[in-house]
């Protein structure tokens, strides 16, 4: 089982990549990140549960929901999702990580509509203006970092921890190594045979894949302060609500252009950039992709339903 966990790819599914106004193609912001056999929901705009149905997503490994900020297009789907999880027979608690105001805003409706569910919705408030670890387990950490928007907003950095090396089964069998020794070998120990032969750890194991890192930045104006937080990540999602030509809108709304998203990606030396959160005023995302690629070639323009393996 532990081997299976380590082999699991990190997978990102775009549930919604529209902005404040939905379009025929794109719902409000929401993404599902699967990392180390766990599911993390990032933002939960209206229709998130509908997208999950449409994209055949099962949520039995979903326990943690992260909300970047309290604009409705990033959290209005929360109540519907929680209600439906209740109807699906869920029993495990749901953990919601968000600005402290969220609990006050939605708790009355949760009490009213979900009061008889066999699970609780636990709120874990954080300060979006801080850079801090808000979630950690034995294999993953989630860190906030401040973005620049009209209300307190943060980005999230999801990082795998370095996994233990893989045992080389043929060597374990050849030396008939007892099971009780395996944990130590995974932790780096050499193996000493009953005859006193020292078998070096490097002959018994292969290194696990390097840990993956995914950073989510929505919503934000162009801010170079983001760069150190997302430096070198395997994948960066950075909002691109407008095109560069919409100077006034970019300035007034504290959103980014595709070029600006790509500039952050380039300066932070990330491996891949996904852009999204397109304003509904554009018919297609083609001009976004063209604008971004001039600055950062490895850019993909998100559409609802796309999945990426990191």
Q: How far is the CB of 16 from its own copies (least distance, A)?
A: 10
Q: How far is the CB of 28 from its own copies (least distance, A)?
A: 8
Among the listed residues 73, 219, 234, 304, the single catalytic one is: 73
Q: What is the C-alpha separation between 53 and 58, in angstroms, rounded?
A: 8
Only one of the segments 84-92, 156-164, 167-175, 261-269 lies at the binding site for its own copies (rule: CB under 8 A); that segment is 84-92
Binding mask 23-62 toward its own copies (x if CB under 8 A, else -) reads: xx--xx-----------------xx-xx--xx--------
Give SS3 for 217. Answer: strand
Q: How far is the CB of 15 from its own copies (least distance, A)?
A: 13
251 forms part of the interface with its own copies (CB under 8 A): no
112 forms part of the interface with its own copies (CB under 8 A): yes
| CA-closest candidate to residue 98, choices 123, 79, 132 | 123
Q: What is the C-alpha separation between 108 and 80, in angstroms, rounded?
A: 14
Q: How far is the CB of 56 from its own copies (least distance, A)?
A: 9
For residue 195, indicate whether it is catalytic.
Answer: no
| CA-closest candidate to residue 47, choices 12, 22, 65 | 22
Number of residues in contact with its own copies, rule: CB under 8 A? 33
178 forms part of the interface with its own copies (CB under 8 A): no
Strand 273-276 and strand 235-239: the pairing is parallel
Q: What is the C-alpha separation between 27 and 224, in angstroms, rounded?
A: 28
Strand 140-146 and strand 154-160: the pairing is antiparallel
Per CB under 8 A, the list member of 59, 63, 84, 127 interacting with its own copies is 84
Q: How far is the CB of 285 from its own copies (least distance, A)?
A: 17
Q: Is the peptide bond prior to 105 cis by the omega test (within 30 degrees of 0)?
A: no
Q: What is the C-alpha separation between 96 and 68, in angstroms, rounded?
A: 11
Q: How far is the CB of 6 from its own copies (least distance, A)?
A: 34
Pick the closer one to its own copies by CB: 112 or 197.
112
125 forms part of the interface with its own copies (CB under 8 A): no
Q: What single string gives the DSSP state of each residue in 154-193?
A: EEEEEEEPPPPPEE-HHHHHHTT--GGGHHHHHTT--EE-
Pick the closer one to its own copies by CB: 27 or 145.
27
Pick the closer one to its own copies by CB: 73 or 239.
73
Evaluate whether 213 touches 157 at the Cβ level (below 8 Å). yes
Q: Give Cβ neighbours of residue 205 (< 8 Å, ≥ 6 apart).
A: 165, 166, 167, 168, 185, 186
Only one of the segments 105-113, 178-186, 223-231, 256-264 lies at the binding site for its own copies (rule: CB under 8 A); that segment is 105-113
Per CB under 8 A, the list member of 5, 92, 105, 174 interacting with its own copies is 105
- The DSSP H or E segment spanning 238 is strand 235-239
Q: What is the C-alpha separation between 102 and 124, in angstroms, rounded?
A: 10
Evaluate whether 186 touches 167 at the Cβ level (below 8 Å). yes
Per CB under 8 A, the list member of 101, 132, 245, 290 interacting with its own copies is 101
201 forms part of the interface with its own copies (CB under 8 A): no
Catalytic residue numbers read: 73
Interface ranges with its own copies (CB under 8 A): 20-24, 27-28, 46-47, 49-50, 53-54, 70-73, 76-77, 79-80, 83-84, 87-88, 101, 104-106, 108-109, 112-113
């Amino acid at each position: 089982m532990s081997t299976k966990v380590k082999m699991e790819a990190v997978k990102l599914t775009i549930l919604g990549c529209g902005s404040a106004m939905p379009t025929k193609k794109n719902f409000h912001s929401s993404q599902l990140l699967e990392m180390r056999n766990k599911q993390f929901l990032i933002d939960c705009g209206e229709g998130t549960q509908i997208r999950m149905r449409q994209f055949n997503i099962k949520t039995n490994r979903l326990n943690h929901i992260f909300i970047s900020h309290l604009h409705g297009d990033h959290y209005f789907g929360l109540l519907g999702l929680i209600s439906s999880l209740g109807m699906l027979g869920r029993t495990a608690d749901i953990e919601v990580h968000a600005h402290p105001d969220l609990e006050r805003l939605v708790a009355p409706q949760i009490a009213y509509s979900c009061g008889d569910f066999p699970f609780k919705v636990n709120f874990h408030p954080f300060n979006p203006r801080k850079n801090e670890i808000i979630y950690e387990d034995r294999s993953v950490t989630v860190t906030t970092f401040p973005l620049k928007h009209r209300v307190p907003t943060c980005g999230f950095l999801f990082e795998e921890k370095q996994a233990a090396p893989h045992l080389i089964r043929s060597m374990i069998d050849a030396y008939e190594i007892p099971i009780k020794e395996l944990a130590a070998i995974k932790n780096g120990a050499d193996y000493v045979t009953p005859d006193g032969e020292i078998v070096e750890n490097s002959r018994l194991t292969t290194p696990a894949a390097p840990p993956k890192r995914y950073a989510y930045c929505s919503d934000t104006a162009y801010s170079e302060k983001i760069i150190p937080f997302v430096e070198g990540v395997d994948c960066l999602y950075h909002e691109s609500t407008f095109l560069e030509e919409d100077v006034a809108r970019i300035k007034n709304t504290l959103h980014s252009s595709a070029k600006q998203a790509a500039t952050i990606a380039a300066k932070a030396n990330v491996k891949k950039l996904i852009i999204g959160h397109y304003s509904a005023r554009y018919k297609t995302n083609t001009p976004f992709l063209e604008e971004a690629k001039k600055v950062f070639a490895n850019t993909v323009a998100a559409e609802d339903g796309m999945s990426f393996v990191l």
